[in-house]
Amino acid sequence: MSEKIKVEMNDWLFNAGIIGFVNILEHSGDKVEKYDNYIEFKEEVLDDFEEKYFKYLIDTYEKQLSWNKIVSYRPIIEHFKEEGLDQFNKDNLERLNSYIKDVKYYTKSASYKAAYNLIESNKNVIELSKSLKTIKVRKKDTIESVLEKVNYSHQILEEIIDYMDNPSHKKYLAGKNVIYTIVKNSWNGISFLNPQTKEKNIYIDFKEYFVKPTTEYIEIDKSKYKYNCFNCDNQIKDLKNHYGFLNNIGFDVDKKASHVWKFNNDAAMCPICKLIYSCTPAGIMYVYNRGIFINDNINIASLINTNNKIKYEINNEEKISSGSTYKALMNSLAQKYNNKIKYEISDIQVIRYEDENYRFNILSKQMLNILNNTSEDLSKLINSGYKEINTYFNIYELVIDRLFNNQNLFTLVHKLLIFKLSSPNNCRFNNLHIKRVLNINKKFMEGMGFMNVKEKDIIKSASGSGYYLREKYRQKGAVDKLSGISYRLLNAIKTNNKDMFMDTLLNCYLYAQKSVPKIFLDALKDEENFKNIGYAFVTGLIEGKENGGDNNAK
């Protein structure tokens, strides 16, 4: 029997490939031996590897596939089959119509058509879906008038679902899905992602392109080969297998030099490494076109553990959205943090795939501490956001993004306050959310040593002052004046103009005939205190408490 094959950890992308490889095999019940910085496996596990590859990807990403959109309607049809259409109402019809549109759209798309050709069946799905039509109720008519059509649609749809759901069909349909929604994020242009590929069967294509060369390579005598794999240094015959198929190998700060090398023509890899790289979609966790990977490379076990936590978190979301990656990442980091004794925590490299690019962050021990200390405030921001020129921004993500890059949150707070003043209708957040952001920022600045830790809760105290001043203005029937004042204060904070700020502030208190709270004396000390106190004050001043509590406090 052949000896075991050993694969060692390397840079983050290869590590993602190793994790993917292990996930794929273990999902099918194969054994991989895991050591600190390498894995070992027997050649036999590569038998039917293409089946295992797709099975893992389909099972892991099923919720994100259009295939799932089609078959997940089945319970609804079954419900009406059992209960009859007596209770079928307008909402049901609306849902049915939008579903019909989806089905018609997907079933005639190129990737579905390509899959039909691989399936042995006399059913013509395209014809079936052509016969489907959205159902309209004429103004004068009642819903009863269309129930027959509904019934007919249900029958057709059930036929289509049966077709899609058949395991020997699913492997191709969902397989095609997974290629275009997931695999394409990692690599492209070769094997089943080569538009010119001669082999139409994605399974055979993968086997021929990746698996077979690997087993051949394992068996063959390599001692006369004169080149070396750039990744693992094993001898290779030629330089055909270059790195070009890997998407946007971003410049990882630490490994910059080696990546530059990989773009050179003489950088090529062995078939084993190539197979491992092909498994990156099973190692990086993707949600549609976003991906996340934590290169927690102390050892293979912790690498797997940390990243599978992300996978678990995402797949347990009720509704997966691209924002799920952030939440899952934070939860995974939190778990990691809590499982360790403080001194064991070390820097972690986080890789995010967004807008077709990899982003790298090294989270220091200090930053992990901060993230842990702010997790409660952070979690309350998950559903908050704002719309700007038709794009929705999630505050939770914006905050995390800045923290990962070691940036303070003042410009974000400024933006939120200006937004609240100028276009409140586009704001899905209130002053309590801004206070949370300020709290996080304060902890960040203290944690990074930019600010002394104070006993006093300056955010609470300053925003409270804003609130009470607003109350006073309300009593005087002058709330309208506050928006102009807020703009002026924000401008003063942004430009770090304490004189302008204090001048405006004193005028307000003079108008209210109230004394200036002593918290503002702290604001005079330094820029950090000034900004924290200033922004917190305006936060209270803009909205007061009348807009209710934390929407996400639940």
Token duo for residue 220: 């063959």
Residue 209 DSSP code: I
- Kindly state whether residue 495 participates in binding another protein, applying the rule CB under 8 A: no
Token duo for residue 353: 């795939």
Give the residue with the Cβ less far from Zn ion, 182 or 273.
273
- For residue 235, the minimal CB distance to Zn ion (Å) is 10
- For residue 16, the minimal CB distance to Zn ion (Å) is 16
Under a CB-based contact definition with an 8 Å cutoff, are residues 430 and 548 in contact? yes
The SS3 of residue 236 is strand
Taking the C-alpha atoms of residue 179 and residue 184, their distance in angstroms, rounded to an integer, is: 6
Which phi and psi (to 5°) does residue 5 adopt? -100, 135
Taking the C-alpha atoms of residue 437 and residue 273, their distance in angstroms, rounded to an integer, is: 44
Q: Identity (one letter) of the amino acid at 249?
A: I
Alpha-carbon distance values, 431 to 145, 220, 427, 439 (Å): 51, 68, 11, 12
Q: Which does 502 bind (CB under 5 to 8 A by kind): Zn ion, another protein, none?
A: another protein
- Kindly state whether residue 499 participates in binding another protein, applying the rule CB under 8 A: yes
Q: Which does 273 bind (CB under 5 to 8 A by kind): another protein, Zn ion, none?
A: Zn ion
Q: Which does 434 bind (CB under 5 to 8 A by kind): Zn ion, another protein, none?
A: none
- For residue 524, the minimal CB distance to another protein (Å) is 6
Among 516, 545, 551, 552, binds another protein (CB under 8 A): 516
In DSSP terms, 293 is beta-bridged to 351
Alpha-carbon distance values, 378 to 112, 374, 396, 399, 437 (Å): 41, 6, 7, 8, 8
- For residue 516, the minimal CB distance to another protein (Å) is 5
- For residue 269, the minimal CB distance to Zn ion (Å) is 5
Q: Identity (one letter) of the amino acid at 401?
A: D
- For residue 446, the minimal CB distance to another protein (Å) is 24
Q: Which does 507 bind (CB under 5 to 8 A by kind): Zn ion, another protein, none?
A: another protein
Lay out the site mask for another protein across 523-542 (x = CB under 8 A, - = otherwise): -x------------------
Q: Which does 345 bind (CB under 5 to 8 A by kind): Zn ion, another protein, none?
A: none
Among 78, 130, 521, 546, binds another protein (CB under 8 A): 521
Residue 399 DSSP code: H
Count of C-beta atoms within a 10 Å radius of residue 234: 16
Listed ranges 21-29, 123-131, 151-159, 506-514: which one lies at the site for another protein (CB under 8 A):
506-514
Give the residue with the Cβ less far from another protein, 338 or 515.
515
Listed ranges 1-9, 65-73, 340-348, 507-515: which one lies at the site for another protein (CB under 8 A):
507-515
Element (H, E) at 227: strand 227-228
Nearest residue to 178 via CA among 337, 305, 84, 50: 50
The SS3 of residue 228 is strand
- Kindly state whether residue 498 participates in binding another protein, applying the rule CB under 8 A: yes
Of residues 98 through 137, those in contact with another protein by CB under 8 A are: none
Q: Which does 231 bind (CB under 5 to 8 A by kind): another protein, Zn ion, none?
A: Zn ion
The SS3 of residue 184 is helix
Under a CB-based contact definition with an 8 Å cutoff, are residues 325 and 290 in contact? yes
Q: Which does 521 bind (CB under 5 to 8 A by kind): another protein, Zn ion, none?
A: another protein
Listed ranges 235-243, 348-356, 415-423, 500-508: which one lies at the site for another protein (CB under 8 A):
500-508
- Kindly state whether residue 478 participates in binding another protein, applying the rule CB under 8 A: no
Residue ranges in contact with Zn ion by CB under 5 A:
229, 231-232, 234, 270, 273
Alpha-carbon distance values, 518 to 458, 461, 462, 514, 523 (Å): 11, 10, 10, 12, 9
Under a CB-based contact definition with an 8 Å cutoff, are residues 79 and 200 in contact? no
Give the residue with the Cβ less far from Zn ion, 7 or 285.
7
- Kindly state whether residue 506 participates in binding another protein, applying the rule CB under 8 A: yes
Count of C-beta atoms within a 10 Å radius of residue 216: 10
Element (H, E) at 348: strand 348-354
Among 73, 393, 410, 520, binds another protein (CB under 8 A): 520
Q: Identity (one letter) of the amino acid at 516?
A: V
Among 266, 503, 526, 546, binds another protein (CB under 8 A): 503
Under a CB-based contact definition with an 8 Å cutoff, are residues 469 and 541 in contact? yes
- Kindly state whether residue 509 participates in binding another protein, applying the rule CB under 8 A: yes
Listed ranges 159-167, 172-180, 478-486, 512-520: which one lies at the site for another protein (CB under 8 A):
512-520
Give the interface with another protein as residue ranges (CB under 8 A): 498-499, 502-503, 506-507, 509-510, 513-516, 520-521, 524
